[in-house]
Structure 1
Amino acid sequence: MPRYEYRCRTCGDTFELSRPMAESSAPAACPQGHEDTVKLLSTVAVGGTASTPATAPSSGGCCGGGCCG
């Protein structure tokens, strides 16, 4: 189940809730009981490395196949 981050406008507390995507925009009360909250835009950090093999064949896609003008 996705986690959404909210901030309370009354006390400034930031908190997370796990809820179904269908309820992502539903109002959420802060842990202190205040109702004036906003959903924050969450960012996802993805780490790691990626490499392309030196012998990767040309896929013939747009930028590899000459269809770009």
Structure 2
Amino acid sequence: MNPQLLMDLVTMKMPFGKYKGRILCDLPESYLIWFHREGFPPGKLGELIATLYEIKLNGLEYLLQPLKK
């Protein structure tokens, strides 16, 4: 896994939709499940959301905590 992806998850904001302006790592799991079911957006944002989905699915959110500071 690219370490820069993890940094982006704790710094990038959601650019559109119901959670526009929210830091990606703070997106609710239900929203990530919806993207998983309906399809992730193209490009880097989709890659980030898919990565976050896998992190939350596997209970690995603790990996992001030290990076949030």
Structure with larger RCO (C-alpha < 8 A, sep 6+)? 2
Whichever of the two has the greater Rg, that structure is 1
**TM-score, structure 2 as length reference:** 0.22
Relative to its length, the structure with more strand (as a share) is 1
TM-score where L is the length of structure 1:
0.22
Whose helix proportion is higher, 1 or 2?
2
